[in-house]
Structure 1
């Protein structure tokens, strides 16, 4: 018969698991676009602010779409064929209207899964139907190296 003695064990208090939520990593100072903005205006603002797209809101501030660099490419190509450097088309003609949104209370892991599933670069964040921010793929990637491995 073998007897083993491990000594007195110190029970470490369990620390609550840190909730890693979209709200803590989303951008809240958003650049938004209007339906009647021209693609010229969008391209200028995206270049100035170094962004690749943003939410499109109506007059009441409600989310109606997303405009991205990809959406603007069609107008740029059309400019090539019409031999013009102006892009007068309106945001409403090129924006994506099927917008997938997330809640600020969604875990960052679930948001990461949504990015993988949908292969898009940004999700508007809605709370009670109101636009409160945006989480981008870059926001998610930047968040994980800062987390402690014991809090996952």
Structure 2
């Protein structure tokens, strides 16, 4: 009989993602998020290293600023959350759930050996955990 391997973040993360670059104009980033119907995106530098996360909340700050100044201004880097909390790809899915319970973030960039490899959301973790009981 083979031992059962615990599910990991890598088993349930998404890898086909919308990503942005820090130098992208914020107005273009907002348009991408709206067109793709996503609530945020990981921000990767030119070498693919995670630089931050841009959420719709961050975009609201940019939109509010634009309403004051009557024009959009700035780049993704000006509005993104830098140094976001991440999860390791090999983290057990139960441990990931524990991290998520203690955090206000709804989704986390996933790293393997310090490199960005995907993203996992509360929904992904809940689906993984519920699969054990159905």
TM-score scaled by length of structure 1: 0.80
Query: Alignment RMSD, CA only?
Result: 1.8
Partner of 2:94: 109
Q: Deviations over 1:48-82 (max 9, x none)?
A: 22111111111111111111111111111112222
Partner of 1:28: 15
Quick one: distance in 2 between partners of 1:48 and 1:138? 21
* Structure 1 position 146, deviation (Å): 2.4
TM-score scaled by length of structure 2: 0.89
1:43 aligned onto 2:30: yes
Larger Rg belongs to: 1
Q: Deviations over 1:82-115 (max 9, x none)?
A: 234xx33200101111311111111111111111
Pick the aligned partner of 1:75 from 32, 54, 62. Answer: 62
> What pairs up with 1:1-152 in 2 under 5 angstroms?
16-84=3-71, 87-148=72-133
Unaligned runs of 5+ in 1: 1-13
The runs of at least 4 consecutive aligned structure 1 residues that moved more than 6 Å come to none
Richer in strand (by share): 2
* Partners of 2:42 and 2:54 within 8 A in 1: yes
Aligned residues: 134
Quick one: distance in 1 between partners of 2:130 and 2:37? 23
Unaligned runs of 5+ in 2: none
